[in-house]
Amino acid sequence: MTTETPVDTDSRKPEHLDWLLALTAIPTAAGHEGRVVRWIEHWLDNRSGFVTQTDPHGNIEIRIAGCAESDHPIYFTAHLDHPAFVVEEVCSETELILSFRGGVMSDYFPDAIIRVHYADDAFSLCTIAGEHEPTPEGEKDERPFKLYRAVGGRPHHAELGDIATWDLPEATIIDDEFGGIVHTNACDDLAALAAALAAIDELRLAKNAGAEVGDVRVLLTRAEEVGFIGAIGASKDGFMPKGSRIIALENSRAFPDSPIHGGPIVRVGDRISIFSPELTGAVAKVAERIAGGPAAPTASQKMSDMPKWKWQRKLMAGGACEASVYCAYGYCATCVCLPLGNYHNMANLSEVQDGSFNGVPRVGREYIGVDDYYGMVDLLVGCGMDLPASPGFVERLEKLWADKRFVVEQSPESGRA
């Protein structure tokens, strides 16, 4: 079996990896994605051939200039936020009240060290001193997010709306036999954003080289971590044409049956819904075409028969993603995700959940396989170049019927009452 990709991305892989490392280090939070947006704007300024527009909710669409617009564009979507804190009150030079926007178990907060990021890109360290109880006389606090009190050992100059993130080491790539694992602050969903930009840039270059490239776009959404708010707004407004085929990109918690280094995952559904079967099948068809084989060996195959370019096809019911939102609003949507370690920065999550972890849970850097990331880029480029209208399963069934209907038509049981 041979591995074929529609566009040769090998020479630009180091650049794609640089984008991954840069984006996943940027502080971001739901409703406060400005730093990531500025990075994207700078990225766009450094290359010609893209057209952008922004909707009233701050969602960003990027498309390749000169490609004929279609009623059925292909979208790669990723969200711009990651679970993080936002400064809600400045109590003193050494005390802050912060909301947390995202899903992280309460076990990870006590005495955790966080970085408060300022507008000038400086930061100071604070310690989470417990949940904030702001309501005297039993009054109910109407603020929508859980609040935490943080104290610092030296004066800060924080302002309302500043972002705070966990205090984590700088990104590193740990080499292994599969090409390495990237340990970095926020893969979810900035690694998928990097893959989306890499893919549409490859398609732009292919078009410039004379290849036929259809109407492929990137949609970047806000405030996913607090309930898919950007995706809901874009869907309600009809920001994407109703005939769009939407491939949501995610980082999903890895499990033994969906491992890191197993390749990008064509996700058939999440804990909320099953995605559009025809589109899921079409994306899987592209993956199979690139790999030269299925995601897993059939009963008549050995593991040694499997292609070197890996991909997976899984339900991934541990969480929910924007593909369910798009499906709920009548769009044809599916998901491709990267298997993720330390989901939402929760190290040792399985042991913490089942009660077997000894000690105080601590956050850690999220991590993904370098090969999985490159595989996602390959798959998206393949979808952008030639995403079939259907997975071709009906055609396969028709061929099976034509070739083997004689088995039932000529059998002794045929025609019996």
Convert the pLDDT of each residue in 74-126 to its tens digit.
999 999 999 999 999 999 999 999 999 999 999 999 999 999 999 888 999 99
Contact of 115 with 240, CB cutoff 8 Å: no
CB 366 within 8 A of CB 251: yes
At residue 139 the predicted structure's pLDDT band, cuts being 50, 70 and 90, is: low
Q: What is the mean pLDDT of residues 182-203?
A: 98
Q: State the CB neighbour count (10 A cutoff) for residue 184.
A: 23
Q: What are phi and psi of 33, to 5 degrees?
A: -95, 15
Name the band, by pLDDT with cuts 50, 70 and 90, for residue 243: very high
pLDDT tier, 4 (very low <50, low <70, confident <90, very high otherwise)? very low
CA distance 205 to 211: 9
Average pLDDT value for residue range 240-258: 97
pLDDT at 301 over 70: no
For residues 336 and 283, is the Cβ–Cβ distance under 8 A?
yes
pLDDT in tens, 45-54: 999 999 999 9
- Which residue ranges make up each domain of the chain? 10-82+171-396, 84-166
Q: Is 346 helix (H, G, I), strand (E, B) or coil?
A: strand
Instruction: Report the C-alpha dihedral over residues 32, 33, 39, 41, rounded to 10 degrees.
Output: -100
- The pLDDT tens digits for 383-404 are 999 999 888 788 888 999 999 9
Alpha helices in 238-313 (DSSP H): 277-291
Q: How far lies 122's CA from each of 65, 190, 362, in Å? A: 37, 21, 24
- Does the pTM surpass 0.85? The reply is yes
Q: Is the pLDDT of residue 417 over 70?
A: no
In CATH terms, the fold of domain 10-82+171-396 is: Aminopeptidase (3.40.630)
Q: Is 359 left (phi over 0), alpha (psi -120 to 50) or beta?
A: left
pLDDT at 138 over 80: no
Q: State yes or no: pLDDT of 415 exceeds 70.
A: no
**pLDDT surpasses 80 at 213:** yes
Superfamily holding 84-166: Peptidase M42, domain 2 (2.40.30.40)
Residue in this structure with the two tokens 């943080």, named with its chain if needed: 150
**pLDDT-based confidence at residue 37 (cuts at 50, 70, 90):** very high
Q: What is the pLDDT of residues 221-233, one digit of tens each?
A: 999 999 999 999 9
| Other CB atoms within 10 A of residue 276 CB | 19
Kindly provide the residue ranges of all beta strands, DSSP E only, lying in 261-388, ordered along the sequence.
265-267, 312-314, 332-340, 366-369
Mean pLDDT of 330-337: 98
| 52/401 Cα distance (integer angstroms) | 48
Report the pLDDT value the prediction gives residue 2, as an integer from 0 to 100.
39
Give the per-residue pLDDT at 256: 95
Burial class from Cβ neighbours inside 10 Å (0-12, 13-18, 19+) for residue 155 reads exposed
